[in-house]
Amino acid sequence: MNLKWRIAIILGLVAASVWALFPRTVVERVKRNGEFVYDTVRRVPLKRGLDLQGGMYLALDVDESKGAVPDKSKAIDNALKVVRNRIDEFGVSEPVVQKAGNDRIIVELPGIDDPRRAQDVVQKSAFLEMQITDKTQALEKSLPRLDAVLKDTKVAAATPSPTAAKDTSSAGLQSLFSADTAKKADSTKKDSTAASGTVGGPGAFSKLVQQGQMPGEYYVAQTDVGLVTQYLSMPQVMAVLPPGKVIRWRSDTTTMGNRVYRAFYVLDAKPIITGEYLTDAKPNTSPTEGNIVEFTMNNEGARRFRAETGRHIKDFMAIVLDQRVMGQPPVIQSAIGAHGQITMGGKDLQAAQDLALVLRAGSLPVPLKVADVRQIGASLGQDSIHKGITAGIIAVALVVLIMLGYYRFSGALAVAALGLYILYTLAVLAGFSAVLTLPGLAGFVLSIGIAVDANVLIFERIREELAHGKTVRTAIDEGFRHAMSAIVDSNVSTALTAAVLYQYGSGPVRGFAVTLLAGIAASMVTAIFVVRTFYMIWLNRSRDAQTSLSI
């Protein structure tokens, strides 16, 4: 190839690389939620992975702990839309929301500073139901049977050995309080012994429960909530609970005197309306009720709501979000139309904002659980970049010293090629908008040492040819020619390994494979093409080039 063409190609590649890496303000058309929006950013177009810029990675699976989900793939598709809506509203720059495999959603949120909140927004089911509290005293009627069932089962379990029974029952109870075992060790012991004395006795259930002011409302001392929850989940107990009713705990606690209580409500199982008709929700602060979320329903929802509430005048309506009753159920004074509100029960305005957001974006069709979460603070990411760059500079310095010391003039050519190698590799990463991760950065630093291998192979070959008494020009030609097969074979086999790594690696490791691949490509170009061209320039210019080569 003509020397001028070679130089032109190298300069062209340099220009393209500089252009690819130049910081720019880009107006990007990004597809979000099915529609295109414009976005402007100014940056060096090298994408940093979450581990370098800080942020959060979430992998969400379908939660089947409360019942199997028949068509998971479809459920995930629907959930994906909802999650995407919510993330878009949440306001994260360049979020990633995608389906992975058949039954997983991947969410990447770069640069967020409150991971817990973001996760709540993603994960909250946001299933809203309005249910009328029971006014038939169904629970009272069931109480004798409930107590009887508990008495039977507990006694049956306790009979084999009285001492052992006491032990197991107190152990079981302690596990209920495990969340604050240590702090309340004394009180737990007291409670458990007291409870173990009465477990299986008369009124096992009814003595834990007090009737509230409105129909269907019951209070349980906060310390007994765990026990009652356990009772309510026992199959024998569920069998004797009033049919057509459901029991829902309230989201907040109530303090009466100096004791803390949590209420539960017996509700008509069939909701009068659900959140599917909701068109809008916004947070607000009411002077009497604190923070609230006001919602609006569409025409059909409003019509139904009006009809249903009209039928239930003077009844109490519980607003149930994800199976928790939000605030004190209000009495229905007159038929309600399109508007309603949810009281937040003393939670802050941000909680109201987030609730409004998830209500607007719609409820999740299936519950999701977190399968994998990685959260990296922004400062840690910054720190990693600094360390990576330091290591990179030191690696370059060491390699440059070794090459110059050992190969002198030829080493200098290799060093110049190494500079181009770094430029080209970064440009390839930018050009393919590959994501640079911490392992990727490490791989890049490592590749600086490995990149000169091709040069070393060629130089050693040239030395051999010179030793055989060939002229400088021939030795260079032969050196490149003979080293070629080794360079190609070794690089291709490394590239194949990197490709496998890319295919089977996840996130950060994938970033590593990408840098490795970009590095291999760039090192072959620089070692074979660029250094060869340097030699050609030198052979053309230097008078003594034909007789001696500093290598």
Partner 1 sequence: MLRILHDTNYDFIRWWKVMAGITIAFILLGLGSLAIKAPNYSIEFTGGTLMELEFAKPPDVAQVRSTLDQAGIRGAEIQQFGTNTEFTVRVQNAAAVASQSKGAENIAVTIENVLKKKFGDGAVTVKRTEAVSARVGDEFKRGAIIAILLSFLITLVYLSIRFEWRFAAAAVIATSHDVFTTIAFLKLMHLEISLTVVAGLLTVLGYSLNDTIIIFDRVRENLRKGRKESLYETLNRSINETLPRSVLTHVTTFASTLALLLFAGEVIRPFAWVMAFGIVTGTFSSIYVAAPVLLWIERKWPRKTGARQASSTATPTSRTQRSPATATR
SS3 content of the chain, % helix, strand, coil (to 5): 55, 20, 20
Taking a C-beta distance cutoff of 8 angstroms, is the pair 166, 154 a contact?
no
**Residue 545 makes contact with partner 1 by CB under 8 A:** no
**Residue 438 makes contact with partner 1 by CB under 8 A:** yes
One of 152, 372, 432, 471 touching partner 1 (CB under 8 A): 372
**Residue 486 makes contact with partner 1 by CB under 8 A:** yes
Structure tokens at 297: 């329903």
Nearest approach in angstroms of CB 425 to partner 1 is: 14
Nearest approach in angstroms of CB 384 to partner 1 is: 6
Q: How far apart are CA 7 and CA 411, in angstroms?
A: 20
**Residue 484 makes contact with partner 1 by CB under 8 A:** yes
**Residue 501 makes contact with partner 1 by CB under 8 A:** yes
Q: What angle do CA 293, 57, 106 make, to 5 degrees?
A: 85
Taking a C-beta distance cutoff of 8 angstroms, is the pair 440, 512 a contact?
yes
Nearest approach in angstroms of CB 268 to partner 1 is: 30
Structure tokens at 177: 């309080």
**Residue 435 makes contact with partner 1 by CB under 8 A:** no
Taking a C-beta distance cutoff of 8 angstroms, is the pair 253, 262 a contact?
yes
Smaller CB distance to partner 1: residue 207 or 387? 387
**Residue 226 makes contact with partner 1 by CB under 8 A:** no
Are β-strands 47-48 and 435-436 bridged in parallel, bridged antiparallel, or unpaired? parallel
**Residue 155 makes contact with partner 1 by CB under 8 A:** no
Torsion sign across C-alpha atoms 135, 140, 145, 146: positive
**Residue 270 makes contact with partner 1 by CB under 8 A:** no
Residues 31-60 that bind partner 1 (CB under 8 A): 59
Taking a C-beta distance cutoff of 8 angstroms, is the pair 165, 187 a contact?
no
Of 377, 375, 394, residue with least CA distance to 448? 394
Smaller CB distance to partner 1: residue 246 or 376? 376
**Residue 73 makes contact with partner 1 by CB under 8 A:** no
**Residue 463 makes contact with partner 1 by CB under 8 A:** yes
**Residue 343 makes contact with partner 1 by CB under 8 A:** no
Nearest approach in angstroms of CB 69 to partner 1 is: 15
* Interacting residues of 76 by C-beta distance below 8 A, sequence separation 6+: 62, 99, 102, 103, 104, 105, 366
Nearest approach in angstroms of CB 499 to partner 1 is: 8
**Residue 404 makes contact with partner 1 by CB under 8 A:** no
**Residue 1 makes contact with partner 1 by CB under 8 A:** no
Give the C-alpha distances (Å, rounded to integers) separating 150 from 74, 147, 220, 225.
Answer: 42, 5, 17, 16
**Residue 479 makes contact with partner 1 by CB under 8 A:** no
Smaller CB distance to partner 1: residue 46 or 378? 378
Taking a C-beta distance cutoff of 8 angstroms, is the pair 43, 454 a contact?
no
* Interacting residues of 115 by C-beta distance below 8 A, sequence separation 6+: 56, 109, 375
**Residue 348 makes contact with partner 1 by CB under 8 A:** no
* Interacting residues of 228 by C-beta distance below 8 A, sequence separation 6+: 205, 208, 209, 220, 264
One of 350, 489, 537, 546 touching partner 1 (CB under 8 A): 489
Are β-strands 290-297 and 317-321 bridged in parallel, bridged antiparallel, or unpaired? unpaired
Nearest approach in angstroms of CB 64 to partner 1 is: 10
One of 72, 145, 151, 482 touching partner 1 (CB under 8 A): 482
Taking a C-beta distance cutoff of 8 angstroms, is the pair 434, 381 a contact?
no
Nearest approach in angstroms of CB 479 to partner 1 is: 11
Residues 174-203 that bind partner 1 (CB under 8 A): 178-179, 181-183
Amino acid 513 reads A
**Residue 322 makes contact with partner 1 by CB under 8 A:** no
Are β-strands 55-62 and 368-376 bridged in parallel, bridged antiparallel, or unpaired? antiparallel
* Interacting residues of 190 by C-beta distance below 8 A, sequence separation 6+: none
Taking a C-beta distance cutoff of 8 angstroms, is the pair 58, 372 a contact?
yes
Torsion sign across C-alpha atoms 400, 401, 402, 406: positive
**Residue 448 makes contact with partner 1 by CB under 8 A:** yes
Site size toward partner 1, by CB under 8 A: 87
| Span from 215-223, 316-324, 332-340, 372-380 in contact with partner 1 (CB under 8 A) | 372-380
Nearest approach in angstroms of CB 509 to partner 1 is: 5
Residues 406-425 that bind partner 1 (CB under 8 A): 406-408
Q: How far apart are CA 110 and CA 253, in angstroms?
A: 36
**Residue 398 makes contact with partner 1 by CB under 8 A:** yes
**Residue 116 makes contact with partner 1 by CB under 8 A:** yes
**Residue 369 makes contact with partner 1 by CB under 8 A:** yes
**Residue 504 makes contact with partner 1 by CB under 8 A:** yes
Amino acid 194 reads A
| Span from 3-11, 132-140, 258-266, 493-501 in contact with partner 1 (CB under 8 A) | 493-501
**Residue 496 makes contact with partner 1 by CB under 8 A:** yes
One of 335, 351, 402, 416 touching partner 1 (CB under 8 A): 402
Are β-strands 317-321 and 324-325 bridged in parallel, bridged antiparallel, or unpaired? antiparallel
Smaller CB distance to partner 1: residue 297 or 445? 445
Smaller CB distance to partner 1: residue 127 or 444? 444
